[in-house]
Amino acid sequence: MKKITQNKRKNSGGSEEWLCNLCGHTFKGSYTRVYHHLLAIPGDGVKACTCSLDKRIEITKLHMAATGGIVGLEEESSTLFKKHRVSNLEEECSQRENLGKVSTRSSSSKKAKGQDAVTEMFNVQRKTEAEDAVAEFFFANGISFNATRSPQYKEMMKKVFAAGPSFQPPGYNKMRTTLLDRGVSKMQGVMEGLRKSWVEYGCSIVMDGWTNIQQRPLLNIIVTSPSGPYFLKAIDCSGKMKDAAFQYEVLKDAIEEIGPTNVVQVITDAAPVCRSAGLMIQSRYKHLFWTPCCVHALNNALKDIGKISWITRIILDAREAQMFICNHHASLAIYRIYAKKEFLKPADTRYATYFILLDRMLEVEQALKATVISAEWSTWGESRTDQGKKVRNMLLDDDWWANVKYIVSFTAPIVELIRYADSDSPCLGEIYESIDSMIGKIKSIIRQKDPSLELFNELQKLIEKRWNKLNTPLHMAAYALNPKWYVEREGRISPIDDPEVKQGFIEAIEKMYTPEQATIFREQFLDFALLSSPVFSRAAKEDLLGMAQRSPSGWWRMYGDKAPDIRTLAIRLLSQVASSSAAERNWSTFSFIHSIKRNRLTSKRAEKLVYVHSSLRLLTRKTPEYLQGPAAQWDVDPEDASQIDDDDDGPSLHAGLVNVPLDDIELQVQGIDDDEIEGSEAQAFSNMLELES
């Protein structure tokens, strides 16, 4: 269909009368006014055509094809010639040529202005189409909107644009083979600098087991250092006995791959088979220590506390209330009317999460009370059942809430220490003092209600039982070499004056070094502990309250040059973690990549994907952009309820008991579950306590 019709000429002045077949508007003028009308270009005194945007784009492309358009559009122009009748295009070109002979009014500036407007309109359309294509890719593949904040997303777009229109995106086979292998090789090269840092700072090997989506048993090996956790490998243990001998071989191979002199310790949980493997490693490598996971030990301490009869009843009551409200759509909807925070579901293997559940209940106490006294609750049928009445009476019982508050108060120091140790930050030199300080805080809290300290004495025995299994000469040596503890503290003695600490330090250096070397270390340690001159300057003493508090290893780097042997040892020990949490968190990465939808992914390919994924995240977390700006904490999804607290824009402190990495979320937002509470209360908590720690 013709877009424009030329009427009979009205005068001899060179102007023609035109009828727009798209909008019915009639006007006079040359061809310039025709395409200004059709393309809605302002500035020529002609009314813009009111046709649809699609029609206007079509006319724009026809005009550009007829006039040569913009450089680089030849291919599009040839396509347009196929789509539209050639007669229409030729007719419009002929009209422009004839009119151009008689029209002398259009200035070169107007032509340039019109051409710029045409170009801009075309660019806007192409941008819209590109945005729609990217969005549809996200929608079709269920990709989180948060992925747009990833630095790799922006870098990908830049590289694709720079490659030009001839670029063809990689296909399925190339992505899973050539490009994946190239990614592994690239990351190995990039991470070489991190591996070199192990020579000076040392590193820790942490190991943990897991069963993937295909029910294959895997052993995860992570190397931790001040530079961050480095995924080394995952061992598929299918068809193999995961006994102490097997785990010993896995750890030995990892140590040899890293370099024995770079490794300070091996961390696992305290299960008997892990303990046996760790002691075998400790025997083979004289300078290495096997240390149980601190977080695992503290969780077991909370497990023991949970077995105290009156505390067991409170936890069971809280769990029953949480399940009753969250397992019914109606009660959960009523609760959400009054509460700003969701209930949290404890993880059965993380006993601290049961005490965090109590803490969350205190936070939403008023909302829970408002729920069970509301008119909606009264008219809800389940509220009149025996269980509904029990939950209502319990949540309105002030004595019950007083017990909850008491439990949360004296277990808070333990949970706080778990949060601190359950991170990738060096803290080996803090644990010995932190345990002692934690016990002191618990004593002060209990004394306010129980001057006889009967409950405290019971708790102290339970905590010290677990601590004695955790404490090693390595912990005491790291504590003894931490300069922040050599300032005057009320009620505390210096590590050099603590017989147990001194003995632990001596045992550690005698294991790690020859008798001659050990003598040198003892002498230099005494110089350090007494801060004797001229080995340690006045500035070193003054900075005990400054740098030593912020960075103990940094203090040694600055002031330890005249005691070089003990300086090297101190830097290495104070740069180590105290838990195997890095390995546990990495299983969340595995489950994210090797999901139900991708359950046919081979273990080897999944291992490669996890390696590249973990390395990229580690690298980006070390950039300034990760701390502030549009990409700040880009890997924390604001739409993931397990990562964001309900009334906060930052990472949830309740999510898995970790401060920085949020990969391993043990404490999840409780959703609707059709299963009712099964079995008796005693059996329910008994099952929890019998789970292997």
pLDDT at 482 over 70: yes
pLDDT band of 533, cuts 50, 70, 90: confident
Query: What pLDDT is attached to residue 674?
Result: 30
CB 102 within 8 A of CB 13: no
Bridge partner list, 205 = 223, 266
pLDDT at 293 over 60: yes
Cα separation, 157 vs 169, whole angstroms: 12
**Structural domain spans, the chain:** 4-133
pLDDT at 592 over 70: no
What are the CA-CA distances from residue 212 to residues 37, 219, 235, 248 (Å)? 65, 10, 12, 22
> What is the 8-class DSSP label of residue 623?
S
Write down the pTM of the prediction. 0.72
102 or 169, which is more confident:
169
User: Which phi and psi (to 5°) does residue 223 adopt?
Assistant: -110, 125
Provide mean pLDDT across the span 106-111.
53
Angle formed at CA 92 by CA 91 and CA 94, multiple of 5 degrees? 65
Mean pLDDT of the chain: 80
Query: What pLDDT is attached to residue 342?
Result: 83
Percent of the chain with pLDDT over 70: 76
pLDDT at 100 over 70: no
Which of 62-76, 172-186, 389-403, 491-505 reaches the highest mean pLDDT? Answer: 389-403
Provide mean pLDDT across the span 402-406.
97
Cα separation, 410 vs 110, whole angstroms: 80
pLDDT band of 659, cuts 50, 70, 90: very low
**Omega cis (within 30) before 552:** no
Cα separation, 466 vs 353, whole angstroms: 18
pLDDT band of 372, cuts 50, 70, 90: very high
pLDDT at 262 over 90: yes
Which of 34, 46, 45 is closest to 2 using CA atoms?
34
SS3 percent helix, strand, coil of the chain, rounded to 5, is 60, 10, 30
At 214-233, the pLDDT tens digits run 667 778 888 999 988 888 88
Which of 55-64, 297-306, 599-608 reaches the highest mean pLDDT? Answer: 297-306
pLDDT at 679 over 50: no
Cα separation, 338 vs 374, whole angstroms: 10
DSSP one-letter string for 640-677: -TTTB-TT-SSB-TTSTT-SS--S---SEE-----PPP
pLDDT band of 383, cuts 50, 70, 90: very high
Query: What pLDDT is attached to residue 65?
Result: 64
Query: What pLDDT is attached to residue 240?
Result: 79
416 or 51, which is more confident:
416
346 or 691, which is more confident:
346
SS3 96: helix
pLDDT band of 117, cuts 50, 70, 90: low
Question: Which residue's entry shows tokens 């390595």?
Answer: 474
Least reliable range by pLDDT among 387-401, 419-433, 490-504, 669-683: 669-683
Q: Which one-letter amino acid corresponds to residue 35? A: Y
Distant-in-sequence, close-in-space partners of 450: CB < 8 Å, separation ≥ 6: 456
For the record, the structure tokens of 514 come out as: 């020859």
